[in-house]
Chains A and B, each alone.
Chain A
Amino acid sequence: MTSDSMPAAEAPVRTASRIDRARLLGLLERFALPLLLVLVIVVFSTLPATSSTFTSPENIRNVLGDQAVLGVLAIASILPLVVGHFDLSVGAQASITQIAVAAAMSRYGIPMVPAVLIGIAMGAAIGLVNGVLVAKVRVNALITTLGVATVIAGLISLYTKGTTIVSGISHDLINLGQGEWLGIPRTTFFLAAVALLVAYVLGATVYGRRLRLVGSNPAAAQLVGLRLDRLVLSTFVFTGALAGVAGALLVARNGNANPASGNEYTLLAVAAAFLGATSIRPGQFNVLGTLVAIFFLAFSVNGLNLAGVEPWINDVFNGTALVVAVGLSAVFARQRQRGA
């Protein structure tokens, strides 16, 4: 009894078509989100209702400039996500560091650069608290960062009594937030710098590789001698410092420090990080994918607003986009497993 009944003639043909299909699915998965971004831009650029306003330089500049704070926070939240932990305090950290930066200038007359550094240091310190609780005390990161975010909200209202800091903010900082270089909002350059920094750290350093190892398999990482606690702790500190940058950008963009602003960014940031993980390098949190996700959401919402839809659409759109994207990536992943 041997294998004599072999439909060999049929096999190669089918194999080839299946390979093409698998490869196509893979490409589709990687570039679905960038394609959607392009699609959104094309649609709103040609739609009669929006074509004139959507493509105007002012509009594009506004969208770009407005996304800097969210972009920095989303990229910041990637770092703990890479090692498997959520940081749900990035918005609160941006919120309190903007107060710190503004108060340093307005109440204590500290110049811009040291004031911004104070904000960054404060973010790093909060990150240290998060990191110690998660990595050393081993409290669940969701609980830790939600708790820390709540404490921060309380401290903000204690310090500000709910009033916005408007006076005494360095004009240099406000110019950074509202001016342009080469026709591009200055905040966008800061977003680009943060993106490059994190992409470099994750993709091209030994430290970044170690984070990927820990994220892929903590047990194995321990057995190759990696100090899990230190690595995890460091990501929270890194994130905190970047949230400090976001806080400074928030002051720069708004020209003031409103205790109510900042918090709303947390969920959007984490959502963008997750959306980003469905593209470019599917299954891995990555900087480029996150940026694409942010601008996809931003241009979509912007176009819809210009088309005159009611404002409640924004939230519905953001939420739907997230669920659909994550759902699609799950479908693609299943297809890959079965068919590839």
Chain B
Amino acid sequence: MSELRVEGVAKAFAEVPALSGVSFHARPGRVHCLLGGNGSGKSTLVKVLAGVHRADAGTVSVGAAAVEAAAIDPDWSRTRGLWFVHQDLAVFPMLSVAENLAAGRDYVTAAGGRIRWRRFNDRAREILERFHLDVDPRLPLAALRPAQRTMVAVARALHASEAATGTLVLDEPTSALPHDEARFLMDAIRRCAADGHGIVFVTHRLDEVAQVADDVTVLRDGRVVASGPATLDRAELAELIVGGGAAAEPARPTATGARGPAILELRGPVELTLHAGEVVGLAGRLGSGRSRVLRGIFGAGPRAGEVRVGGQPIPPGDVAAAIAAGVAFVPEDRDGEGLFGALGVRENLSAVDVSRFRASWGLDQRREGAAATQTMRSFLVRAVSERQPIMTLSGGNRQKVLLARWLRGAARVLLLDEPTQGVDVGARAEIHRLIRDAVAEGAGAIVVSSDHEELEHLCDRVLVLADGRVVAELGPGDVDAVRISHLTLDAAPAAAGARI
């Protein structure tokens, strides 16, 4: 059992420094939270430790074994007992849950190398039980929901680290998890620390810091702005993360009497009328049908019932018709379903309205580029230029690109699935402001979120769903995070218990 010491690590991408002289110590038996906004260098730091990125300067030591940070490779990390769960999980969607748990380790084999599947799956079942995951280990991982996939990745690293004591580094493992399910993970992490492992827990959720942290290090712009025992409260942490007190979010406007005409009517198992100037939240556990409602309206999934936008019916399964009627959809899986990873900011922004830049001889890329620069400014997208490859932007800025893609056009009905998932507090406040501005200008929004404080901040009304039906509605003045949480938990079918 030995301490992880990071000293003076520096790393630059192109000309932009991502880390400058970052130092912190993670002690055995303690949970060390690494906090910071988008682009603060959290993920870069983790990737340096894992040997994915090569540092420019600094040293890293585990116990007595010290090494130049630039010389770290994945083998070094592994043999020194450093275990990682990366943000992108590094799981194998086409393989079974059991195979994912065993990845990089041993299969249970019989003579001749034959895999003993039954024993193998039984062992996986035990691990899954320890992590309160009620899934069949033989299912392909792709069949699981994102939250369950995260849990499998965490379970893999945690049960791996039981073999040898060491330090477990979790890079935002909860960013895809609803709050109540994140709690299971917190319990597992505490257990792990109690066993004597050191835990480095990268997160942007301040409530989790209060729950698990023994120590806290806050990064901003690639520098450590605070490091020490977890004694600061949420407001102080938020202040440190954002710097200059920009974290304070304006309270939701309370004047809800003046809402505009109905712009969207949904009839069927879920009845919903959305008015201009209104934000309606959809709460519910995973699998309650929150996302399905959004996808159904947009035509990106099966739909039960009828949708009218501005009085006109929208045929099911016709995304183009929905877009033409002014409907916009921001999916939960930002990188998988939202962004065009091989392309730049500009191409990502104009994905919907590229025909706007059609000239007699083709595509007017100068006009498109100018529009992109303008959009980046209005929607607070921070990037070097409109030509920057989209995947080199931070998560929050990628999300803003996704929103801006729709908001700069004529979208009136905004369907937003987890709009601030995996986004730091500063970007979260900005995204909320962008949504509110759009709504103030006559749009309406339906927001799905498992972050109930977000719903409280953002929504005029909240519908709580279970099994694809509305089981409760909180009207203007009643929207309250704690009440939403209670209603969501109560609404869960009793049989489901603790499963996710």
Min Cβ gap A205→B in Å is 5
Taken together as a complex, chains A and B put the C-alpha atoms of A1 and B3 apart, in Å, by 15
Q: Check A213–B227 contact: CB distance below 8 A.
A: no
Residues from chain A with Cβ under 8 Å of B337 in the complex: 217, 219-220, 223
Q: Check B17–A220 contact: CB distance below 8 A.
A: no
Q: Check A338–B53 contact: CB distance below 8 A.
A: yes
Besides A6-B8, A18-B12, A19-B15, 16 other A-B contacts (C-beta < 8 A): A1-B24, A3-B24, A5-B7, A5-B8, A18-B56, A204-B365, A209-B350, A212-B340, A217-B337, A219-B337, A220-B339, A220-B340, A220-B351, A221-B351, A223-B338, A339-B54
Q: Check B21–A338 contact: CB distance below 8 A.
A: no
Given A1-B25, A2-B226, A22-B14, A11 contacting B339 (CB threshold 8 A): no
Q: Check B21–A3 contact: CB distance below 8 A.
A: yes
Which residues of A, 223-253, contact B by the 8 Å Cβ criterion?
Answer: 223-225, 227
Taken together as a complex, chains A and B put the C-alpha atoms of A5 and B405 apart, in Å, by 44
Which residues of A, 9-38, contact B by the 8 Å Cβ criterion?
Answer: 10-11, 14-15, 18-19, 22
Which residues of B, 6-45, contact A by the 8 Å Cβ criterion?
Answer: 7-8, 10, 12-15, 17, 20-25
Residues from chain B with Cβ under 8 Å of A337 in the complex: 52
**Residue B331 at the chain A interface, CB threshold 8 Å:** yes
Prevailing SS type, chain A contact patch? helix
Prevailing SS type, chain B contact patch? mixed
Min Cβ gap B31→A in Å is 16
**Residue A98 at the chain B interface, CB threshold 8 Å:** no
The one of A5, A205, A225 in contact with B362, judged by C-beta atoms closer than 8 angstroms, is: A205
The one of A15, A205, A213 in contact with B340, judged by C-beta atoms closer than 8 angstroms, is: A213
Residues from chain B with Cβ under 8 Å of A212 in the complex: 340, 342-343, 347
Stretch of B154-162, B271-279, B352-360 that contacts chain A: B352-360
Q: Give B contacts to A, CB under 8 Å.
A: 7-8, 10, 12-15, 17, 20-25, 52-54, 56-58, 223-224, 226-228, 298, 300, 319-320, 322-324, 329, 331, 336-343, 347, 350-352, 354-355, 357-358, 361-363, 365, 405
Taken together as a complex, chains A and B put the C-alpha atoms of A153 and B160 apart, in Å, by 56
**Residue A328 at the chain B interface, CB threshold 8 Å:** no
Q: Check B351–A224 contact: CB distance below 8 A.
A: yes
Min Cβ gap B256→A in Å is 31
| Range for the number of chain A residues in contact with chain B | 35 or more
Residues from chain B with Cβ under 8 Å of A215 in the complex: 342
Residues from chain A with Cβ under 8 Å of B351 in the complex: 213, 220-221, 224
Min Cβ gap B332→A in Å is 11
Residues from chain B with Cβ under 8 Å of A7 in the complex: 8, 10, 21, 57-58
Taken together as a complex, chains A and B put the C-alpha atoms of A157 and B22 apart, in Å, by 72
Q: Check B52–A338 contact: CB distance below 8 A.
A: yes
The one of A3, A22, A209, A340 in contact with B347, judged by C-beta atoms closer than 8 angstroms, is: A209
Taken together as a complex, chains A and B put the C-alpha atoms of A217 and B347 apart, in Å, by 12
Residues from chain B with Cβ under 8 Å of A317 in the complex: none
Taken together as a complex, chains A and B put the C-alpha atoms of A86 and B53 apart, in Å, by 34
Q: Check A216–B57 contact: CB distance below 8 A.
A: no
Q: Check B15–A8 contact: CB distance below 8 A.
A: no
Residues from chain A with Cβ under 8 Å of B25 in the complex: 1
**Residue A159 at the chain B interface, CB threshold 8 Å:** no
Taken together as a complex, chains A and B put the C-alpha atoms of A10 and B7 apart, in Å, by 13
Q: Check A225–B339 contact: CB distance below 8 A.
A: no
Min Cβ gap B52→A in Å is 7
Q: Check B363–A227 contact: CB distance below 8 A.
A: no
16 contacts between A and B (CB under 8 A): A2-B226, A3-B223, A5-B7, A6-B21, A7-B10, A22-B14, A206-B357, A209-B354, A212-B347, A213-B343, A216-B342, A216-B343, A217-B340, A217-B342, A225-B352, A337-B52
Given A206-B355, A223-B338, A11 contacting B343 (CB threshold 8 A): no
Q: Check A11–B57 contact: CB distance below 8 A.
A: yes
Which residues of A, 165-215, contact B by the 8 Å Cβ criterion?
Answer: 200, 204-206, 208-210, 212-213, 215
Min Cβ gap B129→A in Å is 33
**Residue A164 at the chain B interface, CB threshold 8 Å:** no
Residues from chain A with Cβ under 8 Å of B23 in the complex: 3-6
Residues from chain A with Cβ under 8 Å of B54 in the complex: 338-339
Q: Check B226–A219 contact: CB distance below 8 A.
A: no
Min Cβ gap B153→A in Å is 21
Residues from chain A with Cβ under 8 Å of B342 in the complex: 212, 215-217, 283-284
The one of A15, A220, A223, A225 in contact with B10, judged by C-beta atoms closer than 8 angstroms, is: A15
The one of A11, A208, A223 in contact with B319, judged by C-beta atoms closer than 8 angstroms, is: A223
Taken together as a complex, chains A and B put the C-alpha atoms of A188 and B266 apart, in Å, by 60
Taken together as a complex, chains A and B put the C-alpha atoms of A310 and B53 apart, in Å, by 47
The one of B24, B53, B339, B358 in contact with A206, judged by C-beta atoms closer than 8 angstroms, is: B358
Residues from chain B with Cβ under 8 Å of A254 in the complex: none
Residues from chain B with Cβ under 8 Å of A225 in the complex: 319-320, 322-324, 352
Of chain A, the residue at the smallest CB distance from B405 is A224
Residues from chain A with Cβ under 8 Å of B7 in the complex: 5
Count chain A CB atoms within 10 A of each CB in B329, B337, B361 and give the residue with the most: B337
The one of B17, B358, B361 in contact with A15, judged by C-beta atoms closer than 8 angstroms, is: B17
Q: Check A14–B53 contact: CB distance below 8 A.
A: no
Residues from chain A with Cβ under 8 Å of B20 in the complex: 6, 8, 11
Residues from chain B with Cβ under 8 Å of A46 in the complex: none
Residues from chain B with Cβ under 8 Å of A15 in the complex: 10, 12, 17, 56
Residues from chain B with Cβ under 8 Å of A6 in the complex: 8, 20-21, 23
